Structure 1
Amino acid sequence: MDIKILQPDVTYAKALSELGARIFADTFGVDNPEEDLEAFLATTYTTEIQTQELTNANMFTFMAFNAEDHPVAFCQLRISEKIYDFIGSTPEESIELQRIYVDKNCAGQGIGKQLLEQAIAKAQALGKKTIWLGVWEFNPKAIKFYEKYGFQKVGTHTFKIGDKLDTDEIMVKQLS
């Protein structure tokens, strides 16, 4: 698939919020009560929140667009002041791959790989030694994808959507 990847500015906040909400709902909607899902989306994927994230100096977003210039995927990196001890790195040396989502109609076409490569290149350009992420324990395709690119499971954390608590596998990749 012919795609273009760019680092969006705030003019893309609405498109990013709509894309994020749609992909998250498509991916996790069947596993969460509707009211919990709607509440989560309303606190995560609004234009206002994406505007804040796009202007946050500690966040880096990449969006992928198809040949018709429609957004089909995105990823977001985040520098955090606090990280889990089991990541094996300091906050100054690490960066979180907070989100990487690909439209279900574009899955398996290499877009996730291209976004991951962009994220890793950005992390290296920032001088980071470790990139880490959380992935839902019941998402074996995603876990296998990350393992294919050198991520290893190092621990777990809890991810809350409404009243439902899920377990995410924490995965880490050392950067050279």
Structure 2
Amino acid sequence: MSFSLRRAGAADAPAVCALFHKSFTATFGHLYPPQELAGFLAGCPVERFRAECTDPEFAVMLGEAADGTPLGYCTLGPYDLQGHIPELLEGRRWWVLRQLYLDEPAKGSGLADALMQWAVSEARARQVQDLYLTVWIENHRARRFYERHGFHEVGKYPYVVGNTVDDDRILRLTL
């Protein structure tokens, strides 16, 4: 499968939002009661993605098929991890890989690797010293992917969806 990458802008927010909802539901939907999942997704409206696609504190990269069909995306930006990592920030610039989601047909295409390479390059270009992310402890495929790219566990994070609290791990890549 061929794909290309480009910066997402305000006009791409509906596609990014749809990718998030579809991929999150496909990967994690079985973990939550339907009403909790619906409430969580309702809290992730297109306006949030539009803001992230246009805010200079964020960077969003979109992967597309040759015909322009959105296949996946990656978002870098601020996220509150303080209190979950004791050594966080002592004089270091850091950023969070907030999301890296692919549509099911794009998995195994190399798009995830391309998005990760972009994320690391973008972080370095912004003079970030540490890149963090959170991953559900049972998402073994994602965890192997991140570890293959040099991330290692540095803490725990409670990821809340409705009344469900997932056991996530915080991973860090020192740049």
Normalising TM by the smaller chain, what interval?
over 0.9
| Deviation readout 1:134-158 (Å, 9 max, x if unpaired) | 0001101100110111100111110
- For the pair 1:158 / 2:158, whether they are aligned, the reply is yes
Kept after mapping to 2: 8 A contact 1:79/1:91: no
CA distance, structure 1, for counterparts of residue 24 and residue 151 of structure 2:
22
Number of equivalent positions: 174
Partner of 1:56: 55
The alignment partner of 1:85 has SS state of coil
CA 1:116–1:86 in 2, change beyond 3 Å: closer, same or farther?
A: farther
Partner of 1:8: 8
CA distance, structure 1, for counterparts of residue 173 and residue 87 of structure 2:
9
- For the pair 1:168 / 2:141, whether they are aligned, the reply is no
Partner of 1:89: 89
Partner of 2:99: 99
Structure 2 gaps, min length 5: none
Q: Amino acid of the residue matched to residue 74 of structure 1? A: Y
CA RMSD in angstroms, aligned pairs only: 1.6
- For the pair 1:66 / 2:44, whether they are aligned, the reply is no
CA distance, structure 1, for counterparts of residue 98 and residue 56 of structure 2:
15
Task: Decide which moves more: 46-55 or 75-84.
Answer: 75-84
| Deviation readout 1:98-141 (Å, 9 max, x if unpaired) | 00011112111111110000000000000001101000011011
Structure 1's consecutive aligned runs of 4 or more residues displaced over 4 angstroms after TM superposition are none
CA distance, structure 1, for counterparts of residue 71 and residue 149 of structure 2:
21
CA distance, structure 1, for counterparts of residue 32 and residue 146 of structure 2:
24
Q: Which protein has the bigger helix share? A: 1
Query: Identical aligned pairs, as a percentage?
Result: 26
CA distance, structure 2, for counterparts of residue 130 and residue 168 of structure 1:
19
Structure 1 gaps, min length 5: none
Kept after mapping to 2: 8 A contact 1:87/1:132: no
CA 1:80–1:18 in 2, change beyond 3 Å: closer, same or farther?
A: closer
TM-score by length of 1: 0.93
